[in-house]
Amino acid sequence: MDKSPTLTHAVISGATSGIITEVLRIRLERSPMRLSLIGRDPGRLKVVASDLQVRSPASQISTYVVDFLDAASVSKLIIKIADLQPIDMAMVAQGQLPNQATCETDLVACEAAISLNATSAALFAMAFAQIMDQQGYGQLVILGSVAGDRGRQSNYVYGATKAMLAKLAQGLQHRFAGSPIHILLIKPGPTDTAMTADFKSQGMKLASAHDVARGILKAMDHKKPVAYVPGHWAIIMLIIVHIPRWIFNKIRI
Tell me the percentage of the chain whose pLDDT exceeds 70.
96
The domain ranges of the chain are 8-248
Residues 152-188 as b or e (16 or more Cβ within 10 Å = b)? beebbbbbbbbbbbbebbeebbeebeeeebbbbbbbb
- Residue 90's nearest CA partner among 164, 28, 20, 152 is 20
pTM metric for this prediction: 0.93
What pLDDT, on a 0 to 100 scale, did the predictor assign at position 51?
A: 97
Average pLDDT over residues 36-65: 97
pLDDT at 3 over 50: no
pLDDT at 20 over 90: yes
Task: Compare 137 and 192 and report the one with higher pLDDT.
Answer: 137
What pLDDT, on a 0 to 100 scale, did the predictor assign at position 125?
A: 98
Residue-wise pLDDT for 122-169, tens only, equals 999 999 999 999 999 999 999 999 999 999 999 999 999 999 999 999
What pLDDT, on a 0 to 100 scale, did the predictor assign at position 1?
A: 42
Banded pLDDT at 198 (limits 50, 70, 90): confident
- Return the CATH number of the domain spanning residue range 8-248: 3.40.50.720
Least confidently predicted of 17-26, 39-48, 101-110, 192-201:
192-201
What pLDDT, on a 0 to 100 scale, did the predictor assign at position 197?
A: 67
What pLDDT, on a 0 to 100 scale, did the predictor assign at position 200?
A: 65
- Residue 60's nearest CA partner among 125, 4, 142 is 4
Average pLDDT over residues 82-88: 97
What pLDDT, on a 0 to 100 scale, did the predictor assign at position 201?
A: 67
Distance CA 57, CA 46 (A): 15
Mean pLDDT of the chain: 95
What are the distances in angstroms from CA 160 to CA 110, 146, 154, 155?
11, 11, 12, 9
Average pLDDT over residues 45-51: 97
